[in-house]
Each structure stands twice: as structure tokens, then as C-alpha cells.
Structure 1
């Protein structure tokens, strides 16, 4: 994963999921910060956990921060 490109977590959809994009590729839908951490791990940051997701500057949160999971 190129660290100069942000991870984008899009606004929650009607079901409460948020699309996650890394390096231009949609990895899937997250339903929690834990899911975002799992996507980050799959993208090569194996040490990333939920606290890293909340604190990192690598993630661009659209439509609300890490505490917003409803539409």
C-alpha cells in the first residue's frame, strides 16, 4: 500500500455500511472500525488495530468520522 495515498471511507449507506477504498481500489464495505482495521491489515499494514484507525492521518473519512455508522 502506498502510504502517500489516503484510504477513503465513504459515507454510511442505508444498511450502515461504509465503502472502503485503498489506492483506488474498493476493498469492500465496513460496518465498524474493526472492519476498517481488517482492510488496512489486508492492504499491508498488519499491525493496524482499531485505535490506529481512529488516530491515523492515512484515512479520509467522508460523511462523518469513525464514530458514524448510520445513514
Structure 2
């Protein structure tokens, strides 16, 4: 079985999550807005409903839709 085509990687130490679509690096997302822009650029203009679908998006090393590391701001 193949993994999800969209991978939102672990939160970086300084904040943000690297996003890959079908193995292509799209950038560092600091919010759902950033993530949706990357998906629009990848040809998925109406991707908001996909963010919580594990068949489409794999959230690695943290909760879905979180972009800041734990600890003090």
C-alpha cells in the first residue's frame, strides 16, 4: 500500500512544518493557510477538506494542524 500523497513533516525546532507532495518539497508551512497555498500550487485548489483525510495527508510527528513546537513561545 502506498502512503498518502501529501506529507506534513515534524515541527521544526523554530516552528513550521516541511510539506511534500508526491515527494516534491513544497516549502515550510507555518499555518493551514500556508499548507493550502502549497496544495493549490500543486494543483489541488480545493484541498481544505483533504487536510483531515489520512488517505490524502499524513501528519508526521505531531498533531494535525499544529505548527509550533511545544514549550514557551
Structure 2: stretches of 5+ with no match in the other structure: none
How many Å separate the matches in 2 of 1:11 and 1:21?
12
The aligned residue for residue 60 of structure 1 is 58
TM-score under structure 1 length normalisation: 0.77
Report the structure, 1 or 2, having the larger helix content. Answer: 1
TM-score under structure 2 length normalisation: 0.75
User: How many residue pairs are counted as aligned between the two chains?
Assistant: 67
What does residue range 44-59 of structure 1 map to in structure 2 within 5 Å?
A: 44-49=43-48, 51-55=49-53, 57-59=55-57
Larger Rg: 2
Q: Which runs of 4+ in 1 moved over 6 A?
A: none
RMSD: 1.9
